[in-house]
Amino acid sequence: MKRIFTYLLIFLAFVLTGCEGAKAPLGAAGEVALDNRLIGTWIGGNEDGEEASLLSISPLGETEYALVYKEANENESEEMHLRAFASSVNGVLFANITCIDCDEEENEAKDEEEWYFFTYSLESDDEVLVARALVNEVYKEGLIDLTDSAQIREYVAAHMSDQSFFEEEAGRFKRLNK
């Protein structure tokens, strides 16, 4: 397959900067312990090495992660800073992700955080991070009106078996370092 272009790259570059997310996360930080296997720098992109992206993950306190995302060929001012933590819904791990200071870059103030959800897993002896976004417009429309974590978790749990609930193509990141 010519294109192993990461959906996470598209999602972070496009959705977090322009589309509405959920008004609350799936649960509380600390519900799932930090997984030290996620800590490090990861690279994603297509097979030709074009449109590569870097994702750095580090602990943020005892219950959350700090993520720094950027295209590999961009300067530091193009970095996107994110905050994330894990939740489990029906035994599936989700990353709850929100942007840090994204609106300041656009000179806009927001009253509340917006949350985006990915399933994630580690493969190949923890050297490959696989993420699949919940981005289907039908589901996003349903999530936008929900105002608390319990409602959002119930909604996600009710639709997890729907074939079109998650993005079909998964983002894949290879570990650069720990």
Q: Domains of the chain: which residue ranges?
A: 7-177
pLDDT in tens, 33-55: 999 999 999 998 655 555 678 89
3-state secondary structure of 8: helix
- Report how far apart the first and last C-alpha atoms of the chain are (Å, whole number): 28
Give the helix ranges, DSSP H, for the chain.
7-10, 16-18, 102-105, 137-144, 149-159
**What does pTM read for this prediction?**
0.81
39-48, 72-81, 113-122, 141-150: which has the highest mean pLDDT? 113-122
pLDDT at 53: 83
Q: Average of pLDDT values for 84-109?
A: 80
